Chains A and B, each alone.
Chain A
């Protein structure tokens, strides 16, 4: 059988691409990998150490848990304390520390917290426990949003009454714009996220690339995909170009996924959102449209947004903006470890601090 994934993991292919990178590399550059899964893959395969000296990769704001504001994390944890509520969430959120404790701590104290792999599994919990309110913690970028939209449409079609979401979704292009507007960013090219791009397509990056004269390559997650992305960025720099190139054609059509985009539009509308590190960004969040208000946990339980107070001395906010590395954080490996994390970047498997801690830098 044709094994598609092993091809992109191939050693020879990666070696050839690395030779290409060596050849094209002329002077020190810094590229940002925007997506958390890129960060994971780069560390997992030891890619940083294989690159020529002076070619730096820095991680961007692409780990959904990491960019969620402290106020929102606290809101989630407060919500989990309500006895009639079952929290349904992706596993990464469990250990993220709020101002006082994490969801995992609350679960140990008796809160009902269910880990799901897909938002739609929340509806099965609704069916099994009709006397409870099930709240899905909707965190994630454009890739996750349509899966939540589909779940809401399914809940409506099935007349499920005890389901709602705590909508904390964020969208990528506006955050990238905020990052790029920062003149101190010092990044020479972006590896754009693979699966966010599968939904939004290549177009949203074109404006950014033009406006900020920034080379951008959409990349997949296998080692060869990432190396190819780096090679293409180097070539653009050497040619004095700043384009958007699609290095992940097997997942990303130019126009994106129109069906998913229309589902997002059907259920959600843009709003302001608060990002850890980046602060409030107009149009970078999504909220449920009026007609889907019944699924909004904020409305259903009369919640109001918490002010954001990020933990003292924690550099997560700076790390998300590539302004600092975990090694510069006074808490890293001392007060902050995966077992007792202070900031979310140490918790999420995609977080930069977690990757530094787990895989180290050689």
Chain B
């Protein structure tokens, strides 16, 4: 089962590639905060980025600009019909 909401990065803890203390991000969506692992994410995020999360792990990072762009693209398409 997949989680549709991208979650916003509030804080990044730890270093890339550390398996003893895997890196984490504190993320937020709909007023709730949680920690997610960053071991398998495609691009190491920084504060303000959004993360697509699966089973407690971030799987994809997108910037706010990319997030907005994807929504805009869809809106454009809807307008065009």
Give the interface of A toward B (CB within 8 A).
1-2, 4-5, 7-8, 12-13, 16-17, 19-20, 23, 35-37, 40-41, 90, 92, 117-121, 140, 143-144, 146-147, 149-150, 153-154, 156-158, 193-195, 198-199, 220-222, 224-225, 228, 231, 249-253, 256-260, 263, 349-350
Expressed in whole angstroms, the minimum distance between the Cβ of A16 and any Cβ of chain B is 4
- Given known A36-B1, A195-B52, A250-B70, contact A150–B40 (CB-CB < 8 A): yes
Q: A5 vs B1: C-alpha distance in the bound complex, in angstroms?
A: 17
Sort chain B's interface into a size bin: 35 or more
Q: Is the CB of A5 within 8 A of B5?
A: yes
Q: Is the CB of A5 within 8 A of B29?
A: yes
| Residues of chain B from 1 to 50 with CB closer than 8 A to chain A in the complex | 1-2, 4-6, 8, 19-20, 22, 29-30, 37, 39-42, 50
Chain B residue, CB-CB nearest to A228: B74
Q: A41 vs B4: C-alpha distance in the bound complex, in angstroms?
A: 10
Q: Is the CB of B67 within 8 A of A4?
A: yes
Question: For A35, what are the chain B residues with a Cβ–Cβ distance below 8 Å?
Answer: 2
Q: Is the CB of A224 within 8 A of B74?
A: yes
Q: Is the CB of B77 within 8 A of A228?
A: yes
Which among A8, A40, A140 is the interface contact of B71 at CB below 8 angstroms? A8
Question: For A117, what are the chain B residues with a Cβ–Cβ distance below 8 Å?
Answer: 55-56
Q: A25 vs B32: C-alpha distance in the bound complex, in angstroms?
A: 41
Question: For A158, what are the chain B residues with a Cβ–Cβ distance below 8 Å?
Answer: 20
Q: Is the CB of B74 within 8 A of A8?
A: yes
Expressed in whole angstroms, the minimum distance between the Cβ of A263 and any Cβ of chain B is 6
Q: State the majority secondary structure of interface residues on A.
A: helix
> Can you give 26 A-B contacts (C-beta < 8 A)?
A2-B64, A4-B6, A5-B4, A5-B5, A17-B77, A17-B78, A17-B81, A20-B81, A118-B55, A143-B2, A143-B59, A146-B59, A147-B55, A147-B56, A150-B39, A156-B19, A198-B60, A221-B4, A224-B74, A249-B66, A250-B70, A253-B60, A259-B40, A259-B41, A260-B40, A349-B1
Q: Is the CB of A4 within 8 A of B77?
A: no
Extra contacts, 7 of them, besides A5-B4, A154-B20 (Cβ < 8 A), are: A4-B68, A16-B79, A118-B56, A153-B39, A154-B22, A195-B52, A195-B54
Q: Is the CB of A147 within 8 A of B74?
A: no
Q: A117 vs B56: C-alpha distance in the bound complex, in angstroms?
A: 7
Q: Is the CB of B6 within 8 A of A120?
A: no
Q: Is the CB of B42 within 8 A of A120?
A: no
Q: A5 vs B54: C-alpha distance in the bound complex, in angstroms?
A: 16
Give the interface of B toward A (CB within 8 A).
1-2, 4-6, 8, 19-20, 22, 29-30, 37, 39-42, 50, 52, 54-57, 59-60, 62, 64, 66-68, 70-71, 73-75, 77-79, 81
Q: Is the CB of A251 within 8 A of B56?
A: no
Expressed in whole angstroms, the minimum distance between the Cβ of B71 and any Cβ of chain A is 4
Q: A94 vs B29: C-alpha distance in the bound complex, in angstroms?
A: 28
Q: A156 vs B78: C-alpha distance in the bound complex, in angstroms?
A: 49
Q: Is the CB of B78 within 8 A of A13?
A: yes
Question: For B75, what are the chain A residues with a Cβ–Cβ distance below 8 Å?
Answer: 7, 13
- Given known A250-B70, A253-B60, contact A147–B6 (CB-CB < 8 A): no
Chain B residue, CB-CB nearest to A41: B4
Question: For B70, what are the chain A residues with a Cβ–Cβ distance below 8 Å?
Answer: 249-250
Chain B residue, CB-CB nearest to A247: B74
